[in-house]
Structure 1
Amino acid sequence: MTDLKLDIKLLEDLCNAFGPSGHEHEAQKIAHEYGKKYADEVLYDRLGSVVFRRGDSGPKIMLAGHIDEIGFVITHIEKTGFLRFHQLGGWWDQVLLGHQVVIKPSESDKKVFGVI
């Protein structure tokens, strides 16, 4: 039962991590911290994948999934406070209205929450 709670906590932490395409560092750090106790070595490839290696022989296991999320870059701030943005990666504009967003300035760790 304890392991199940740890896995749910990991999933929650990964899902809540800030990680739009090209800025996956927070999600990578969470994966690294969780997986390092099971690995002899933690590696990163040039695309940002986190690879855990244990031993030189035996079966190989691969868990594949996206570590990034849909993201946007703010291109303009209106005098009224509204933001204009363009996409990072693909998304359907039909599903954006009403979605919560997290805004993170590039020079700060502070996060601002909003709604589209």
Structure 2
Amino acid sequence: MTDEIETTPESARKPGTSPSETPQPAAPQVVHHTTIVRERSGSGMGVVLAVILLVAAIAAIYVFNQQSTSEVAKNDAVTQAANKIGNAAADVGEAAKQAADTVTDKSSGNP
């Protein structure tokens, strides 16, 4: 915001007169212009809020990423356990087949 104030030097006035009663001299009058510049800056609250929001966003991303990593680890563990159970079932099936073959061979008279 800029304000302009026009001032008259004290030497141009007659003693005992107010500025409005000052007669205009015949010679050119010297006029001084005073410019007042007022700069208003914020309190910095916007910057503080922006930093807080940035930290909160980074924390949220970190937490979400950690949860995703633990989900993947849990899924891998379940997959490995299922594979082991499948392998064990295949081994049991093979043993059952061999036992059935042995029983069949003995009952049919084959040594």
By the TM > 0.5 criterion, same fold? no
Query: TM-score scaled by structure 1?
Result: 0.21
Q: Which has the higher helix share?
A: 2
Larger radius of gyration: 2
